[in-house]
A and B are shown apart, each in its own frame.
Chain A
Amino acid sequence: MRIHIQNGRIIDPSQGLNTIGDILIEDGKIKEVRETIPPHTPLGKRGRRGGNSPDTRIIDARDMIVIPGLVDMHVHLREPGFEHKETIKTGTMAAVKGGFTTVCCMPNTFPVNDNASVTEFIKRKASQEGYCTVLPIGAITKGQKGEELAEIGTMRKEGCVAFSDDGQPVMNSLIMRRALEYSKAFNVPVISHSEDLSLSEGGVMNEGLLSVTLGLRGSPAEAEQIMIFRDIVLAELTGGKLHIAHVSTKGSVDVIRNAKKRGVHVTAETCPHYFSITEDAVKGYDTNAKVNPPLRTAQDVEAIKDGLRDGTIDVIATDHAPHHRDEKLREFDTAPSGISGLETAFSLSMRLVGSHILTFSQLIEKMALNPARILQIDKGTLGVGSDADVVIIDEKKEYTVESHKFISKGKNTPFNGWGLRGMPVITIYKGKVYEW
């Protein structure tokens, strides 16, 4: 089976490509990327030539943008244990809809992915029911309790690409030091959910005048910054590979920028909600705007954009955190944190191109190439021979976000009703075509 994508604008930062051209896919791999690829004219059974082969699918990508499949290094697929929120099947389907062909799932399932048997379960389930590549992230500590290291080496062999206690910080500095040291043996990044729990003390939104006027407990920006700083100095001490998850504050961007200038091996991600909306979304006690770290101020949003622009922030990830409707329809204090992000991430991020914060090519770096490089996986590229993970974007297509139409089981989004522009219209995963 061949697929011939014609006349699209191919943008692939891994090869420095930004050109109108064709892509030929064969047997699930990228076969050729060129300005024009002649119609495929194989020698027929009887040796005749001419015309398109019936087993070649032609996709006309005129006026469309053709990019490598996006890589989301931060999602919650909820399986095993919380299948009412999401499953590997529904989560990966939502991913493909959103233009992602690789997703990395966080270990805060039930049971926690802190041992190779859970990793094996996720991998097997994903290969049976998944619509895209699922790469698990293992827990740093057993049960994500922050006390004892989990079997990082064994989980690495089973397929974990990074380690994180996401949702929970590793509060004990010695354990975090050990994790950064020990992980060096397996050359994997440690992903930090940076939050000083003693300072955030049950905060449910950003601390400031708004938290006071709403009577909601605030978590100060400093609770994030302190932990990022701690983990950066521990990375300096140990030489381990540190990746900072979901950066949300101006101070955090400053701390990371500074560390990168010093040459510390640190990378960082943010999520669309941290550069698209502010804490104002919480007004009216909208639990769909409850997320951890919390939505911050306009000043923070600007700083996140600056960080994306100057390369301080390497990656845009979704932190896709689906929840059941009933769980969000309750007291703000006790509703779970999280936004279902896979199906809005690309369009929200495209706004950065519209406002000249990133070029289109830089956007693809942050959403495909950089996460692939950080995780050292052969994804996020249209290079010949790599998996045929290709997404076709209609950058002019306008639509309104309707959360009830999400493929994800999680309809929890503060972006419901937003008018957005630019969306994936075709996602090809290892040569299989999904079209909307």
Chain B
Amino acid sequence: MLNNKDLLGIKELSVQEINLILDTAAGFKDVLGRDIKKVPALRGKTTVNLFFEPSTRTRTSFELAAKRLSTDVINFSVPTSSVVKGESLIDTALTVQALGADFIIIRHASSGVPHLLAKNLNASVINAGDGTNEHPTQALLDAFTIQEKKRKIAGLEIAIVGDIMHSRVAKSNIYCLTALGARVRLIGPPTLIPENLKAMGVSVFHNMEDGVKGVDVLIMLRIQMERQGKGFFPSTDEYSKNWGLTPERLCLAKEDVIVMHPGPMNRGIEIVSEIADGPKSVILEQVTNGIAVRMSVMYLLSGVKR
């Protein structure tokens, strides 16, 4: 059983809850492999995708997950909505709830927005990425993928490479993977890895070669072009030379290393194409697993006693 009606972040979950979500996701992955990929579990429920930031993969993944569970899905896209007419966030959310939403999947550029909605709504709020806080379903699908490939998470050496400071994916991954017993390393320029993150029980490497040495899993993060020119690093070219994943650097990792990326990728910047498309990459499997994990989350939230 999950304890709360909402999924706000990994921070808010216990290890038991994380494992429950991952175990339940395995069942739904079987469903997705069948000829008929739909279950009637949540028939009659309504899901609203409330995305205040552009997103293709996450929104589509949630939409598919909701449809596979037989809920009705509405996509509330911001540019055509009343938000551009100056409606407040709370009013928008209350309106969506009044339309009968049972699940509100929210993505927003400001950290804490899912928490604000969760406090003010009866519907289940699922965080699909808030500011630089968390992206919990991404971390859950990453953990699911690692577990599937490695049969375990505890004791693994897992490196997350890139813009840790601004990455909600990195944050959720740090909470999730350390909770499940992995040893997490962060690799990147000092400007993108806040010093005080060490307090979370991770180790920090500013040199890519040192950091990659002996890892079981590499999670590459997208470098956002807009960070260039803000003083975080001088150019994407210099970033790539120092922290990009190349075949030479990949050789330093364990033989059976797997390479992950939450997408969308900047090929040739944080990861070269030979690796992204190569045998060690599980990037497309992450996408498939995302649907199963999101189905699991929605299914379990629907069973939470109010």
A interface with B by C-beta (< 8 Å): 208-209, 212-217, 284-285, 326, 329-334
Which of B33-41, B57-65, B109-117, B142-150 lies at the interface with chain A? B109-117
CB distance from A416 to the nearest CB of B (A): 15
With A214-B112, A285-B112 as known contacts, state yes or no: A330 contacts B133, CB within 8 Å.
no
* CB nearest neighbor in A for B167: A215
Q: Which residues of B contact A (CB under 8 A)?
A: 11, 88-90, 108-113, 115-116, 130-134, 165, 168, 171, 194, 196-197, 199-200
A326 to B94 alpha-carbon distance, docked (Å): 14
Question: Is A333 in contact with B110, judged by CB distance below 8 angstroms?
Answer: yes
> In the complex, which of the residues A217, A330, A331 has the most CB atoms of chain B within 10 Å of its own CB atom?
A331
How far, in whole Å, are A215 and B170 apart by their CA atoms in the complex? Answer: 11
Judge whether A212 and B197 touch: CB under 8 Å.
yes
Determine how close the nearest CB of chain A comes to the CB of B12; give it in whole angstroms: 11
A330 touches B132 (CB 8 A): no
Q: How far is the CB of B293 from chain A (nearest CB, A)?
A: 21
Whether the Cβ atoms of B111 and A285 lie closer than 8 Å is yes
Are A215 and B134 in touch, CB under 8 angstroms? yes
Chain B positions within 8 Å of A329 at CB level? 88, 90, 116
Q: Are B90 and A215 in contact (CB under 8 A)?
A: no
Not counting A213-B200, A215-B171, A329-B88, a sample of 12 additional A-B residue pairs whose C-beta atoms are within 8 angstroms of each other reads A213-B171, A214-B133, A215-B133, A215-B134, A216-B111, A216-B131, A330-B88, A331-B89, A331-B110, A331-B112, A331-B113, A332-B112
CA of A326 to CA of B108 in the docked complex: distance in angstroms? Answer: 19
CB–CB B110/A326 < 8 A:
no
Q: Give chain A residues whose Cβ lies under 8 Å from the Cβ of B113.
A: 331
Min CB distance B80 to A, Å, is 21
Tell me the nearest residue of chain A to B11, going by C-beta: A213
Known contacts A215-B130, A332-B112; is-contact A208 B196 (Cβ 8 Å): yes
Instruction: Write the chain B residue with the least CB distance to A215.
Output: B133
Asked if A216 contacts B199 (CB within 8 A), the reply is no
Given A209-B199, A212-B194, A215-B168, also A284-B115 (CB < 8 A): yes
B197 cross-chain contacts in A, Cβ below 8 A: 209, 212
**Contact among A208, A209, A215, A326 with B131 in the assembled complex (CB-CB below 8 Å):** A215
Contact A333 B111 (CB under 8 A): yes
Query: A330-B88, A334-B110 in contact; A285/B115 too (CB < 8 A)?
Result: yes
A79 → chain B closest CB, angstroms: 24
- Could you tell me if B115 and A215 are in contact, using CB atoms closer than 8 angstroms? no
Query: Interface SS of chain B: helix, strand, loop or mixed?
Result: mixed
Question: Across chains A and B, which 9 residue pairs bring their CB atoms closest together, nearest first?
Answer: A215-B133, A285-B112, A215-B111, A331-B110, A215-B132, A333-B110, A209-B196, A332-B112, A215-B131
**C-alpha gap A331/B133 in the complex (Å):** 13
CA distance A84 to B33 in the complex (A): 58
Q: How far is the CB of B50 from chain A (nearest CB, A)?
A: 14
Q: Which residue of B89, B168, B196 has the most chain A CB atoms within 10 A of its CB atom? A: B196
Name 20 A/B residue pairs within 8 A (Cβ), A-sorted. Answer: A209-B197, A209-B199, A209-B200, A212-B194, A212-B196, A213-B11, A213-B200, A215-B133, A216-B111, A216-B131, A285-B111, A285-B112, A329-B88, A330-B88, A331-B112, A331-B113, A332-B116, A333-B110, A333-B131, A334-B110
- Specify the chain B residue showing the minimal Cβ separation from A327: B88
**Distance of A208 Cα from B196 Cα, bound (Å):** 7
**Distance in angstroms between the alpha carbons of A214 and B112 in the assembled complex:** 8
Smallest distance from the beta carbon of B137 to chain A beta carbons, Å?
16
Residue in A212, A326, A329, A334 whose Cβ sees the most chain B Cβ within 10 Å? A212
With A209-B199, A333-B131 as given contacts, are A216 and B88 in contact (CB-CB < 8 Å)? no
Interchain CB contact (< 8 A) of B111 among A208, A214, A326 = A214
CA–CA, A326 and B89, complex, Å: 10
A361 to B71, CA, bound (A): 67
Are A332 and B110 in touch, CB under 8 angstroms?
Answer: yes
Q: Is the CB of A216 within 8 A of B112?
A: yes
CA distance A216 to B171 in the complex (A): 12
Asked if B196 and A326 sit within 8 Å, CB to CB, the answer is no
Contacts of A334 in B (CB 8 A): 110
Q: Which residues of A contact B11 (CB under 8 A)?
A: 213
Which residues on B sit within 8 Å (CB–CB) of A284?
115
> Which residues in A have their C-beta under 8 angstroms from that of B108?
331
Q: How far apart are A206's CB and chain B's nearest CB, in angstroms?
A: 12
- Chain B nearest CB, measured from A214 CB (Å): 6
Known A-B contacts A215-B168, A285-B116; the reply to A332 vs B111 at CB < 8 A is: yes
Contacts of B199 in A (CB 8 A): 209
CB distance from A59 to the nearest CB of B (A): 46
B215 to chain A, nearest CB (A): 23
Q: Write out the residue numbers on chain A whose beta carbons fall within 8 Å of the beta carbon of B200.
A: 209, 213
CB neighbours (8 Å) of B196 from chain A are 208-209, 212
